[in-house]
Amino acid sequence: MPTAPADSEYGTTLVPTVTPFANGSVDADAVADLTEFVLSNGADGVVPCGTTGEFASLTLDEYETVVSASVEAADGAPVLPGAASSSVAGTLERIDVAADCGADAVLVVLPYFHGENGPGGNERFVRAVLAETDLPVILYNIPSCVGQSIDADLVEAVADHPDLAGMKDTSGDLTHFIEVIRRTGDDFHLFQGFDSQLVPGVSMGATGGINAVANVLPGLMADAIDAAASGDRERARELQVNHVGPIFNTSVEYGFASTTKAALVERDVIDDDAVRPPLVELDDEQVAEVRERLDATLGVAAE
H or E element that contains 68: helix 60-74
CA dist 93 and 80 (Å) reads: 15
Phi-psi region of 264 (alpha: psi -120 to 50; beta: other; left: phi over 0): alpha
CA dist 157 and 137 (Å) reads: 15
| Secondary structure class of 289 (helix, strand, coil) | helix
One-letter amino acid for residue 25 of the chain: S
Instruction: Name the residues annotated as catalytic.
Output: 140, 168
**Is the distance from CB of 22 to CB of 246 less than 8 angstroms?**
no
In a 13 Å sphere around the CA of 263, the CA atoms on its Cβ side amount to: 29
| β pairing state of 21-22 and 25-26 | antiparallel
As a dihedral over the C-alpha atoms of residue 39, residue 177, residue 252, residue 48, rounded to 10 degrees, the angle is 30
Find the helix packing angle between 256-266 and 284-297, rounded to 10°: 70
